[in-house]
Amino acid sequence: MLYRFIWMFFIYAFLGWCTEVSYAALVTGKFVNRGFLNGPVCPVYGFGAVIVLAALTPLADNLLLLFLGSMALTSALEWLTGFALEKLFHQRWWDYSDQPFNLNGYICLRFSVAWGFACLFVVKLLHPTVLLFIRLIPQVLGVVLLALMGAVMAADLAATVSTVVKLNRRLEQIDELAARIKEASNEFGENLADRVLEAAEVGVGWKEDLDELSFKLAERRAELADSLEEWEAHREEHRAQVRRQLEEWREAMENLHSGEFFGRRRLLRAFPRLRSIDHRDALERLRRRTENFRKP
């Protein structure tokens, strides 16, 4: 029994991946590796199929109950998966908030109905063929293949989790660097504004004390020239310092955007609605950079 269920999991995980890739090809006109893992499997489809087949096979002759039960089970699994991924990685991997009759953006009526019909097709038409295929595999060979596929999937999962963790760390670094650049820009702007206001105040004072100024014009002109010369030197020094700092930050930002490119690009393409809970702006900048990299 366990042997059969494990085979069912891998077969339906692969078929689910094929379904996702086909759907993405129809929508985008190109191949997109749609799945959390790098390999050609979508585990949520495998778990969903096993749960539905284990729980609802006794209802196979009652199409209405089979349909409603399939909707309920697959929707619950999708909601729990979306919730768990968001809590674990602080990212929302898909979002149905723009769809009518959605629940927390994790599930929506449109896809729940689609899962219901898909499960009818699986239970009534596809699954007998899957069972026949499993029976045709010699059990010893089947156990070896399952062990190999399990090891590959475990390694794939570890690599994917590592990529996601690094992506989160990179987003945090991008946000921190962007905040420092913004702070430096604001400081420079505030200093410039203060100088302008000081000059304006001096101009107003001169206008009010025009008579007195006429007697001290030469003295004030000399003082002003010295002050302007000192301020100009300070300004140029500050500008050079800011330019050096901005250049260092620009290079750091470039490095942050370019590292770990392959795994990051695959995840961003696989989940076009991926949204970071803590670093939304940084993720959007990273997404735009990745898209621009692919353009000829």
Predicted confidence at residue 32, as pLDDT, reads 77
Q: Tell me the pLDDT tens digit for each residue of 183-215.
A: 666 665 656 555 555 555 555 444 455 455 455
Within the chain, where are the H helices?
Answer: 2-28, 43-56, 63-89, 109-121, 127-136, 139-208, 210-258, 261-270, 280-294
Is 290 or 113 the better-scoring residue by pLDDT?
113
Question: Percentage of residues in the chain with pLDDT exceeding 70?
Answer: 58
Q: Assess contact for 55 and 177: CB atoms under 8 A.
A: no
- Total-model pTM: 0.70
CB neighbourhood size of 252 (10 A): 15
What the block records as the tokens of 194 is 């203060």
Does residue 250 register a pLDDT over 50? yes
pLDDT in tens, 38-69: 889 999 999 999 999 999 999 999 999 999 99
CA 228, CA 287: separation in Å to the nearest integer? 46
